[in-house]
Amino acid sequence: MPPATAQQLEALDAQARRLLAVFTRAGYEHVPLAVIQPAGLFLDVVGEGLRARTYVFTDPDGEELCLRPDLTVPTCRLHLARHPAGAIAARYCYSGAAFRYQPAGADRAHPREFRQVGVECFAAADREQADAEVVGVIVAALSDAGLERIQLRIGDLGLFHALLEALPLPPRWRRRLKHHFWRPEAFRAELARLTSNGPPPMEDLTRTLADRLDPGKREEAQAIVAQYLDRSGVELIGTRTLAEISDRLLAEVADAREPPLAVEHAALIESYVAVRGPATTASKKLGELAQRGKIDLTHALAAFDRRLALLQSAGVDIKDAAFSAEFGRNLEYYTGFVFEIIAPELGVKSPLAGGGRYDNLLADVGAPCSVPAVGSCIHIERLLALLCASSS
């Protein structure tokens, strides 16, 4: 792909300034963000898919760094530099380049270096109100830029988490299903494994120690594993820690002693993930699903319905909004409401904007506790190309 011309760069800058003006008028502070970021932090929080597409390098002092693959994590770091506790309400907006390897090759819609203009809202007490506000300001910015036709696509990881919490599952199974949600094939494989009638397969090490390990005695298990590794001459240099090895072995032992996941519960999870359709009818579908499964999703569905009403009040047209229960499988730091804004001309593979709620990310970045947070960004190369095509 040829580099952008001076005229194209000037047009991108003008477009970014116009979008930022909408955000600053709405009360978001425009902040500068560093391009070079600590790689370890990013690789820990962005998830497997984006981790493999991040440009990582080592500086002469041996520190592992990266070119930022998104601007949300840098905004979190800036917020914590100002407010180490994190739980101070703040609204930020930004504009700048992000960098991602494109496995299918770079093109105008998916360049390796691309511009994002976005907003982040931290520590707002009313989560649904903040969600609606962020979507509303993004839609307003796109409208101000001259975009007329868009489609809103939404999901809600909070509903999925509520479903898992309502089912009689061991906590470690809930954690694994949440972890694998981002990878559909791995998710289906894990669900099938949990419903297997026979005990799960064990590695040789687990089988050797299975009778000696008690899942309720973590420290004792670490001592047993350490003794075994020492006798076997196995060193831990450059591999998992003793605690990580012990925890994995304890999980395998506990799974071997656990009755399999009930078929009806696995079917309920599969039915939930398959729900899609108009957002305005999603709550009814999910409520009927919960009723059939004899579980209570009342609180999560009430929050979903309230958010839709607040979106409408924020000037977002929701009558054609689409809902997908499995939507959200891109950035693993999302924890609740997620959305994309699609232009019919570009399709779902090239969304104009996207974002969502990530209530655990500030804690992952360094805050002492979880902080409510939601944000979104606009891909201005796509927006500008669409506007140029519409005007020609």
User: pLDDT at position 150, please?
Assistant: 87
Domains detected in the chain = 1-150+344-392 (3.30.930.10), 152-196+260-342 (3.30.930.10), 204-257 (no CATH)
Q: 82 Cβ partners below 8 Å, 6+ apart?
A: 88, 90
User: pLDDT at position 302, please?
Assistant: 97
Mean pLDDT value across the chain = 87
Spatial contact of 356 and 154, defined as CB atoms under 8 Å apart? no
Angstrom distance (rounded) from CA 377 to CA 95: 9
User: pLDDT at position 329, please?
Assistant: 54
User: pLDDT at position 106, please?
Assistant: 67
Show the tokens assigned to 20.
């930022």
Specify whether the backbone of 287 is left (phi greater than 0), alpha (psi in -120 to 50) or beta: alpha
User: pLDDT at position 285, please?
Assistant: 96
Task: List the single range of 13-22, 134-143, 195-204, 279-288 with lowest mean pLDDT.
Answer: 195-204
Largest CA distance in the chain: 74
Residue-wise pLDDT for 301-335, tens only, equals 999 999 999 999 999 999 999 999 988 756 678 99
Spatial contact of 123 and 87, defined as CB atoms under 8 Å apart? yes
Residue-wise pLDDT for 358-392, tens only, equals 999 999 999 999 999 999 999 999 998 888 877 66
Q: How far is CA 234 from CA 32, 154, 225, 245, 293, in A?
A: 48, 49, 11, 12, 48
User: pLDDT at position 331, please?
Assistant: 66
Residue-wise pLDDT for 246-289, tens only, equals 777 767 766 676 788 899 999 999 999 999 999 999 999 999 99
User: pLDDT at position 11, please?
Assistant: 85
User: pLDDT at position 299, please?
Assistant: 96
% of residues, the chain, pLDDT over 90: 58
Angstrom distance (rounded) from CA 273 to CA 326: 5
Angstrom distance (rounded) from CA 2 to CA 59: 29
Task: List the single range of 48-62, 115-129, 205-219, 345-359 with lowest mean pLDDT.
Answer: 205-219
User: pLDDT at position 37, please?
Assistant: 93
Phi/psi at 357 (5° precision): -95, 135
In terms of average pLDDT, the best of 150-159, 206-215, 247-256 is: 150-159
Q: What is the pTM of this model?
A: 0.85
Angstrom distance (rounded) from CA 359 to CA 72: 12
